Amino acid sequence: MPTSITSNFRDVGESAGESPIRTPDAGTRFRTIEVVDDDKPLGDVLTEGLEAHGYRAVFAPDATAAWEMARTHVPDLILCDINMPGKNGHRLLQDFRADPELADCQFVFMTGNTVYARPRVGMDLGADDFLLKPFTLDTLVSCVAARLNRATISRHREERIADQLKGCLRSTLPHEFFTPLSGIIGLTDLLEEEIATMEQREIRNILHDIRRSSRRLHRTLRNYLQLLGLEGPAQAKSPWVALAAPTTVEAVEAGARIAAERHDRLDDLLLELNGANVVIEPSALSLLAEELADNAFSFSPTGSAVRLHSWSDERSFHLTVEDVGRGMSPNQVRDVGAFQQFEREKFEQQGLGLGLELVRRLVRRYGGQLRLESTPGHGTTSRVSLPLSVSLSHLAKVD
């Protein structure tokens, strides 16, 4: 970035009649902004301007220094240049989104290079906003304030979901654990007492019901423990290990078929799958597909199609799960969370409602994005995007 943009940045702010120093207010005090740019003069001006508006601003000259600094003080927002020597801004964002401690940090890209002036690319990678250099101090401060405000709203929503989860545990967990367990015990007692007089068809039916109850109990425990695990520290293994393209297809298909069999709807399952080298563990990808498909089967009528379609572009692996069920309202889509089952008095469903919350947290852990699109009475489409190992390798080499 040319040094002239530094003076331009100052001149625009002062010409608007701003005071060079503003008194910090309660909304900005102690919020840490980390500026990442290989142009140190510009970085100094950005940090100075942010501090004048009450923020605590720190500067890192490259992605490596930014990562080490962020691990130390965990910033509230990263303001990052894209085109830097070594690891560029895109790759740094991927690192942040894959780290549980830093995944929720607001991330704003900035660039003065028209080659990288593609906000949609940054948003698809998980960026929260985009600034095109040169920009004014007012623009910068407004962007930072807006992003931090959005983060506060999201955090409050997360806390509300967590409170709802905790509030439902006492009343819901015993039912979900003991109902299938009681069925298993009762049916095995029946077999033990009456098997000598039963026909083979009756025995098969009872075994089928025992297996169904066992799988229900297993799924409840698995999802609950998975959700607890995702609230803890990251796994020790590297998050950049990628699946081969055939394995991604196998994982998605396996998860979808488990869900279809659970609902006795294998004939309704449509698979249009293309693989890619995806940065995720196979068990996690299978779980994503299973829970999204299960949600589609749960809220759509038997005989209607549930379609899973996967494909990739140059940066991401995409998976969509579509149903033509009853759908959700915009407010219900917004409030999707753990232990949330909408209109339960009208549409009774088994289970805790952990599935979509678990999917959301898994996608976030692996640096991806989840979007729900739904229309009441017409169905729901779930869209997952996950980073490719190829895109990460390419981004790491971009100067």
Among 139, 156, 173, identify where a domain stops: 156
Q: How far apart, in Å, are the Cα atoms of 209 and each of 122, 213, 257, 343?
A: 49, 6, 19, 27
User: Of residues 56 and 398, which shows the higher confidence score?
Assistant: 56
Task: Tell me the average pLDDT of the chain.
Answer: 77
Produce one character per residue of 188-198: b if its CB has 16 or more CB atoms within 10 Å, e if not: eeeeeeeeeee
In a domain, 204, yes or no: no
Q: How many domains does the chain have?
A: 2
Q: What is the DSSP letter of 337?
A: -
Indicate yes or no: pTM above 0.85.
no
In a domain, 205, yes or no: no
What is the CATH classification number for the domain harbouring 397? Answer: 3.30.565.10
User: Of residues 178 and 195, which shows the higher confidence score?
Assistant: 195
User: What is the model's pLDDT at position 163?
Assistant: 61
User: What is the model's pLDDT at position 74?
Assistant: 84
What's the domain range around 47?
Answer: 4-156
Among 156, 189, 211, identify where a domain stops: 156
240, burial (CB in 10 Å: exposed 0-12, middle 13-18, buried 19+): middle
Q: Which residue has the tokens 């130390």?
A: 72
What is the CATH classification number for the domain harbouring 60? Answer: 3.40.50.2300
Q: Are 287 and 333 in contact (CB under 8 A)?
A: no
Highest mean pLDDT among 166-170, 271-275, 359-363: 271-275
CA distance 203 to 320: 40
3-state secondary structure of 56: strand
3-state secondary structure of 119: helix
